[in-house]
Chain A
Amino acid sequence: MKPRASKLDRHRDDLLAWLLPQPDGEGLTLAAAAQRLFEKHGVASGNGSTRPVSLSSLSIWLERTQQARLQERILTRVATGAETCRELDKKFAKHPAPATDQLVKLLKVLVMQLAVKSESDPALLELVSPLMRSIMDYLKIEEKREDRKLDERRVALLEAKAAQADTAKGVMESQLTPEEKQVKLRNIFGLA
C-alpha cells in the first residue's frame, strides 16, 4: 500500500529547501526549482531528455511530499500525546479513587485531542504543559493531604493508647482487689 517512489524523492531535501516558502525555504517557483534540479543533478523529464521535469509532475510530487510530511508530524504528535498519557497513568496510580479514575480518563482524552488538533492550531499544544503542571500540582496537594490524614490518624491512635495506659496505671495503683483490677483492665483493653 506504499505510494510509488519517484525519481524526485532522492532530491527531496534539496527540492524542499528550494520550494518551501521563506523562512523554511527559498520560495522558488516550480519552474526555477525544476531548472535548478536539471542543472545541479541532471534530473530531466525522461530518459535521454534535455528538458527539466515538467511543472505538473513537480507540483504533484510537492503536494504528495507535503501531505506525507504533514501526516508524519501528526503521527509524531500522536506518539507524544500517548507518552504523556502513560506519564499520567503512572502519576495517578498513587490515587486510585473512582473520581480520580474518571478525571484521568477525561484528561487523557484531552491530551490526545490537543496532540492531534495542534497541527492546525499550534497554540493548543502550548496548553499541554500548563495543564500537566496543574495536574501535577493537584496531585502533590492530594498526596500531602493523604499524608496529613495518615499522620493525624497515627497521632489519634497513639493518644488513645496513651490514654489507655494512663487509665490502666490508675487501676493498678488503686485499692481494688486483684480480681476487680483484672476485670477493669480487661474492659480498658477491650478484652471483656
Chain B
Amino acid sequence: MTARQQITAFVLRALARSGSEPVTQDYMRGLITGAFRHLQLTTADVDGHIAAIEAEGFISGTQDSVLGRLWLLTATGVIKAQQLG
C-alpha cells in the first residue's frame, strides 16, 4: 500500500468515526499529521492528500463563514469507510 492509499484509508476511517458532523480543514490536517508523523509531511503535502481524497470522490468540501473549509464523507466515502472497517 502506498503512503497515499494508507492516508486515504485512515482519513475515511476517522471521518466515519467522527459521526455525521462536517470537520474543518485544520482537523483533517491534524488527523493526517498526527497519524503519519513518520512521513514528516508539510502542510502543502497534507493539503495535497486532502485534495486527492476529494478528487477520488470520497469527501466533499463546503465553505463556512466562521469555520472555513468543512469536509464531509460522500455516500461513496461512507461505503468505502465501511469496507475498511
Contacts and interface: CB of A to CB of B under 8 A. Distances in A.
A118 to B, nearest CB: 9
A120 B1 CA distance: 25
With a 10 A CB-CB cut-off, give which of A78, A102, A105, A120 has the most chain B CB atoms: A78
Nearest to B84: A1
With a 10 A CB-CB cut-off, give which of B26, B30, B36 has the most chain A CB atoms: B30
B9 A74 contact: no
Contacts of B19: 82, 85-86
Given A1-B5, A1-B9, A82-B17, A109 B34 contact: no
Interface residues of B, number: 24
Contacts of B10: 71
B35 interface: yes
B27 A116 contact: yes
B66 A3 contact: no
B41 interface: no
A117 interface: yes
Interface string B61-77: 00000110000000000
Given A3-B1, A102-B66, A109-B67, A82 B38 contact: no
Interface size class of A (residues with CB under 8 A): 20 to 34
B46 to A, nearest CB: 13
Main secondary structure of the interface of B (DSSP, over half): helix
B66 A117 contact: no
A102 B21 CA distance: 14
A76 to B, nearest CB: 8
A112 B18 contact: yes
A70 interface: yes
A141 interface: no
A108 B34 contact: no
Given A85-B21, A116-B30, 8 more contacts: A1-B1, A1-B84, A2-B1, A70-B37, A109-B24, A109-B27, A112-B21, A112-B23
22 contacts: A1-B5, A1-B9, A1-B84, A3-B1, A63-B38, A70-B37, A78-B14, A78-B18, A82-B17, A85-B21, A86-B19, A106-B67, A108-B21, A109-B67, A112-B18, A112-B23, A113-B24, A113-B26, A116-B31, A116-B34, A120-B34, A120-B37
